[in-house]
Amino acid sequence: MKDIFEQLNQLPKGKLRLKPEMRLRFLLYRKMIVKDFSKFKILFVSHSVMRAAIVMVLILPIVVAVPGYAYASKGVVEGHLLYPVKKAVENIELSLATTEEKKSETLDKLAQRRFAEAEVISEDLINNDKKEDVLVKTIQAGVALNIQSNILKKVTEEENDKKVKAEDPKAKLLENVALNVGIKRQEKVVDTVAWALENIKNNKYKNKIKKNSFEDMASTTKEEVRLETEEMTTSTQEVMFENNKNTNNGNNKVLEKNNPSTTNSRFEILKQEVKDLKNYLQSEGFVEEEVDELSEKLNNKIKNSENAQSKNNQKEVEDILESAETLKNNAKFFMKKTDKNNGQGNGNSNNNSETSKEKSNNGKAKGKNK
């Protein structure tokens, strides 16, 4: 008999068969892979909130950057791909303004933005004449917003005057637009810029507008305000002229205008004023060619209004005379000075705008006295 120890040590030993061994090995490898990837499990989380958070983090830069760029960039003007985004952001901004004062501030800011866009468009105008319509539309929208802002603010005459004296940045932008546009541009464009300048710089029409017409508009939804602001731009001018005619606020000039019997004398006064302006601009050293162009444009307007007068179309006469006077008052902003008179060359007429304006006003006063 073998030794008991030997017998026990020789007891048979089982061995794991190949198939279960492979299965176990596979399960182990799978566990190992899962374990290694669990270090990056934040990327494979099934929790919906976490997944949403990750997606948000990835999308956020796009969501913020695109509207941010659209809103902040002056270069995003009408016709640009991102312009609707810019408008949407502006609408949100407007809707966030709860009080009338805030709303007025926002509208003022938006008006300024429109004029800044107009400045960008006007710089491009030399290369692309097709942008003239866009420029007109943008300026009109800016003026409409400015009017709404003033109505909500309930500005008084005194405040208006103060504001004008304090150099409204919007006026500065429009002066640049006028200089970029130049006097030789299409009549429609020149007239619109002159009208906007008159509106912003002199606040000529602001307090003469029937308040309700714009208050109603301001109380509608932002989208409608925006649409109306743009649509009404053409009618704004009419509304304003209409109100000019109808307002009985003691302004002798308006009364004078409304009286058909005095229209002929208005033609004469205007003609004289155009002559005075031409002389003044020439003496100030503005480019001769441009002064002639201005003079021709103004004389054409007077001629057209005389024709309308002969047809007894009083409304047209008034419109043309208004636009002529507006252009006359703001003519200097469209013109460039010659180099010999101004060493710094083009675009510096604004430096002398205050003094030239005063002189221009003196010229006008003289004309009226005559």
Partner 1 sequence: MSQNRLYLKYYKSYRDKIYNYFLYRVAFNQMIAEDLCSEVFLRAFDKFDDFDKERSFQSWIYAIAHNSLCNYYRGANREVNLEEAEHYSLENFNSISNSIESQKIIEKIKKLDGYSREVLLLRFVDELSNSEIANLLGKNEGAIRTQISRALNILKSEITDNYNI
Per CB under 8 A, residues contacting partner 1 are 1-2, 4-5, 7-17, 20-21, 23-25, 27-28, 31-32, 35-36
Q: How far is the CB of 95 from partner 1 (least distance, A)?
A: 56
Q: How far is the CB of 9 from partner 1 (least distance, A)?
A: 6
Q: Which is nearer to partner 1, 18 or 58 (CB)?
A: 18
- The tokens of 213 are what? 């017409």
Cα–Cα nearest to 65, from 82, 78, 53? 82
**Are 287 and 336 a contacting pair, CB within 8 Å?**
yes
**Are 108 and 126 a contacting pair, CB within 8 Å?**
no
Q: Which is nearer to partner 1, 37 or 167 (CB)?
A: 37
CA distance 42 to 60: 18
Q: How far is the CB of 41 from partner 1 (least distance, A)?
A: 16
Cα–Cα nearest to 67, from 82, 79, 78? 82
The helix/strand/coil state of 337 is strand
Q: Which is nearer to partner 1, 3 or 158 (CB)?
A: 3
Task: Report which residue type is found at 363.
Answer: G
Cα–Cα nearest to 170, from 93, 117, 111? 111
Q: Which is nearer to partner 1, 36 or 158 (CB)?
A: 36
Q: Which is nearer to partner 1, 17 or 340 (CB)?
A: 17
Q: How far is the CB of 47 from partner 1 (least distance, A)?
A: 22
For residues 43-78, b (16+ Cβ closer than 10 Å) or e, as one string?
Answer: eeeeeeeeeeeeeeeeeeeeeeeebeebbeeeebbb
List the beta bridge partners of residue 286: 337
Q: How far is the CB of 65 from partner 1 (least distance, A)?
A: 42
Q: How far is the CB of 36 from partner 1 (least distance, A)?
A: 8
Q: How far is the CB of 88 from partner 1 (least distance, A)?
A: 53
Please, where are the H alpha helices in the chain?
4-9, 18-37, 48-72, 83-96, 100-124, 132-153, 157-165, 169-181, 187-202, 211-219, 222-246, 252-258, 263-283, 288-310, 314-330, 353-369
Q: Which is nearer to partner 1, 20 or 343 (CB)?
A: 20
Q: Which is nearer to partner 1, 32 or 59 (CB)?
A: 32
- The tokens of 261 are what? 């019997």
